[in-house]
Structure 1
Amino acid sequence: MADIIPVIDLEKISEQLECKKLRDACERWGCFRIINHSIPLSLMAEMKMVIEALHDLPIDIKKNNKDAIPGSGYLAPSAFNPLLQSFGLYDMGSSQAMHDFCSQLNATPYQRQIMETYGKAIHDVAVKIGQKIAESLGIFDADFKDWPCQYRINKYSFTSESIGSLGASVHTDSGFLTILQDDENVGGLEVMDNSGAFVSVPPFRGTLLANLGDIGRVWSNGRFCNVKHHVRCKEATTRYSIATFMLGPRKGNIEAPKELVDHDHPRLYQSFTYGEYRALRVSINKAGDKYLHAGEVLELLRLV
């Protein structure tokens, strides 16, 4: 596999060497590719067919996908991201949230079954990776099972005129960890390396991609990279991706565990809830004349 970013084998994740590779990937890149994750290729293919069908719905039905929290509903193409539209489902593990999402979009029982099955499988992967990330830092009591996850189901409508332009602008993810099922046929994702250059992340069938977000940086007390990334149009075609965001604790504040704070590593960020952070991002971007991506907002909460 010709890859620049690190590759993590989930079947070997308990081995010392693989755990060290995971920590290095989080510190140096803030992203890595996941192989041997145990999610069946058939389920991944069925999930892609479901999201293609949902994106084929009339616009009036798409708009029924309303926000449960800011930014969690349908996003139409905009001046900021003119080639992108997406659906959102906050707290995808909740039966009521899944019911509401499916009702809004008139999803069939089969489509709901696939989304629920896929959601459980991808949540289990996110929890396992989160726990192994914590263990790589010597923290063995971290529990991510109750952290809510959000779907963001994306469609990029690339044209010959848009080749070379950005389908999704430069940003960091706001949550702790993102698990991405990228389009296995269409590339475009690029991540920033530690020199500040963007490098291409090519598609590889059957693999998943993981990104560390802002909450991951706060939780690690600045040890982990909240990777900047964007999507660039490289060919005139349609590109789909399914992002699952593990956001933050359902209850309580986000802050680095005590094991990661000492005289040489003072606490870098204020303590806050994920809801407070999300509200801060929304309020700043509504009030200002310049859009700030998540990582830039995070810097407003630095203590040191």
Structure 2
Amino acid sequence: MVTMIFMLLDALNNRHLLFLLAIFLLPSTVLSVTLEGERVQGGMLIGKTEPGNQIRFNDKPIRVSPEGVFLIGFGRDDSLQHTLEVSRAGKRVEKRQIEIAERTYRIQKIDGLPPSKVTPPKRDWARIKKEAALVKQARKCDDDRSDFTNGFIWPSKGIISGVYGSQRILNGIPKRPHFGIDIAAPVGTLVVAPADGVVTLAYPDMFYSGGTLIVDHGHQLSSSFLHLHKILVKEGDRVKQGDPIAEIGATGRVTGAHLDWRMNLRQARIDPQLLVPPMPTDE
């Protein structure tokens, strides 16, 4: 059918119309996808596609904004091969394989600790479970806001004392990996919003994380700020990048004052340090 149309148009010597039809018959040029970001474990990619397209990542549908913006992320131990599918009007028009790089992480072994420093006592288990449910609920927010498109800044300045992906083995028991970036600074040091967002959790004292604040950036991408001394915003507040939101503290299960900044994209725990420039230093 397409061959017959081309033959007819060529016979009519209508080269302009022939060119337009050729473009029309190449949807892949119109329905392309661009991806920007770090293609590594713990990384996040900002995607852009034609408005109206649907995206599936590893066979799961993900949100696409009216402007065609979407996010995909990779966890600490994710596989190195992923699949991205683009559809329009229910029909697949493109399938792409995404390869990411593997990372190595710091592993630290500490022996001879009191049992209470390895496993919390049973009297605290109910509290821990309740607080975990509050955090999970706060991270369920999922809407069209694309507050992440203007990029991220450091929420505070200090010494990087802990990195994403590191893990401790305490008295021979492997503990959960560290999923954030630790910024050591004195109690009371200001914390600002790394990007625009909406506050979904402001809790003064959790068992593990002490003063805890969560800011949602849209598309189920959120920042968590842990061990805070003081929270300066409340749930439901709209914040802009650079707005004061909290003060660094030493609350919860810590050994010193610092900010633990974590980020979640849907079920993936991503590395905040991959989204910001190098830590600024004082002159």
Point out which structure has higher relative CO (alpha carbons under 8 A, 6+ apart). 1
TM-score exceeds 0.5: no
Please tell me whether Structure 1 or Structure 2 has the larger radius of gyration of its CA atoms: 2
Q: Identify, as 1 or 2, the structure richer in helix.
A: 1
Larger strand fraction of residues: 2
Give the TM-score taking structure 2 as reference length. Answer: 0.27
TM-score between the two structures when normalised by the length of structure 1: 0.25
